[in-house]
């Protein structure tokens, strides 16, 4: 048999293969288990030793050359395929990015970030507490004992009374669970956990059984608490003024402190902020007593009641403090001009697209905490 001629024929056919698939078929035809060259190798066993000396190297040489031809052709076809793909897949980096669905930051989240930024600059840390709270932290420790009228005012969502099947007793009232009605319990938790001195704000969700255009069963508050030595009302007023000027980005914010009552503060003050009536719109700034101006109630605050400081595990003869609580949703409405609180929680994408913020609008004191959407 003319092995050289067989080799040449194989080479011709391999060179003619124009696709990787066709080449693979040739490989199977020649070199596969049932392949022609594999078949030739199998004939060696039947030959005499002398014949094998002659034929053996020829078959092996044939096998080598066909194998090399297959590999070479395969490489050539693969590089051609790659080159063709590269030529086809051009990437124009100057084209605009495709329109992708974009989310937005909810105004409540944005305002909470603004508050954290402003108060961080004043040395306040952000504290949190559970939304499912117990009666003691939400009421009793804040000097709102059982049967106190303030409890009724809070329209509390209570969890069902828990009966202990084993002892047959009803759960003690202080551990009755509820949805926190305000962020004030975080005052107690922070004092118990960190002691004094203390400077925290505690933003978060609160719950009350109440619903109309300005009330939703869930809303947001931010609590502020400072505990230190020698703290007085002046510190409170300066802190609130500094905060509100930074928040509303107006130097002409004027506050009025009115005597009020909260069980957890003594004395208690309600803080009003002056506004100007522009058409039918209230624009914050200026004294509310000026002509065409008025006062708007904004937040509750006061010097922390001695009983609350004691409930926080601190000695009220040694430590004093002030606290305040304000609605975050209300702050957002005032700053960004929404008028219906319910829309905050409807999840309407059109509302979110209109009032929401870009994730790139990160509030910073240097860039301004109130960059509009």
User: Which residues are near ligand DAH by CB under 6 A?
Assistant: 182, 184, 223, 262, 265, 300-302, 323-325
φ, ψ at 65 (rounded to 5°)? -70, -40
Kindly state the smallest distance separating residue 142's Cβ from ligand DAH, in Å.
8
Which residue lies nearer to ligand DAH by CB, 29 or 228?
228
Q: Say how far residue 49 (Cα) sits from the centre of its chain.
A: 81
Secondary structure (3-state) at 317: coil
Name residues whose C-beta falls within 8 Å of residue 189's C-beta, 6 or more positions apart in sequence.
Answer: 127, 129, 137
**Which of 30/262 has CB closer to ligand DAH?**
262
The C-alpha atoms of residue 285 and residue 250 are separated, in whole angstroms, by 7
The CB-of-91 to ligand DAH minimum distance in angstroms stands at 57
Rounded Cα–Cα distance for residues 265 and 233 (Å): 11
> Residue 70 or 303: which CB sits closer to ligand DAH?
303
For the CB of residue 349, give the shortest distance to ligand DAH in the complex, in Å: 31
Cα 101 to Cα 126, 203, 262, 354: the distances in Å are 32, 30, 47, 15
Segment (H or E) for 300: strand 293-304
Closest distance of CB 261 from ligand DAH, Å: 10
CB of 274 to ligand DAH, least distance (A): 20
Beta strand spans in 72-209 (E): 125-126, 132-134, 177-179, 198-207
Cβ nearer to ligand DAH, comparing 184 with 239: 184
Between 104 and 265, whose beta carbon lies closer to ligand DAH? 265
Cβ proximity to ligand DAH, 275 vs 324, nearer residue: 324
Q: Judge residue 46's burial from the number of C-beta atoms within 10 Å of its C-beta, 0-12 exposed, 13-18 middle, 19 or more buried.
A: exposed
Q: Compute the least distance from the CB of residue 235 to ligand DAH, in Å.
A: 13
């Amino acid at each position: 048999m003319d092995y050289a001629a067989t080799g040449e024929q194989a080479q011709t056919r391999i060179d003619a293969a124009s696709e990787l698939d066709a080449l693979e078929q040739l490989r199977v035809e020649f070199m596969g288990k049932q392949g022609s060259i594999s078949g030739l190798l199998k004939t060696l066993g039947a030959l005499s030793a002398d014949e094998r000396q002659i034929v053996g190297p020829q078959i092996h040489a044939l096998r080598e050359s066909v194998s090399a031809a297959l590999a070479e052709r395969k490489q050539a076809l693969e590089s051609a395929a790659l080159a063709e793909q590269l030529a086809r897949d051009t990437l124009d980096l100057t084209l605009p990015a495709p329109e992708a669905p974009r989310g937005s930051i909810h105004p409540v989240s944005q305002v909470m970030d603004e508050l954290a930024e402003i108060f961080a600059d004043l040395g306040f840390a952000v504290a949190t507490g559970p939304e499912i709270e117990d009666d003691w932290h939400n009421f009793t420790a804040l000097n709102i004992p059982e049967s106190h009228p303030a409890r009724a005012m809070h329209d509390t969502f209570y969890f069902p009374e828990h009966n202990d099947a084993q002892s047959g007793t009803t759960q003690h009232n202080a551990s009755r669970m509820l949805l926190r009605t305000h962020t004030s319990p975080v005052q107690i938790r922070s004092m118990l956990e960190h002691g004094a001195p203390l400077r925290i704000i505690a933003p978060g969700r609160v719950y009350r059984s109440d619903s109309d255009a300005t009330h939703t069963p869930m809303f947001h508050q931010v609590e502020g608490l400072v505990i230190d030595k020698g703290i007085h009302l002046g510190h409170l007023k300066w802190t609130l003024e500094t905060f509100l000027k930074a928040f509303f980005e107006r130097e002409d914010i004027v506050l009025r402190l009115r005597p009020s009552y909260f069980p957890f503060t003594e004395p208690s003050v309600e803080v009003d902020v002056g506004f100007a009536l522009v058409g039918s719109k209230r624009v914050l700034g200026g004294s509310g007593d000026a002509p065409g101006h008025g006062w708007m109630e904004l937040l509750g605050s006061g010097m922390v009641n001695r009983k609350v400081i004691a409930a926080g595990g601190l000695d009220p003869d040694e430590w004093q403090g002030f606290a305040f609580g304000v609605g975050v949703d209300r702050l957002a409405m005032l700053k960004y001009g929404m008028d219906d609180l319910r829309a905050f929680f409807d999840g309407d994408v059109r509302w979110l697209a209109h009032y929401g913020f870009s994730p790139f609008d990160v509030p910073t004191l240097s860039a301004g905490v109130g960059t509009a959407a």
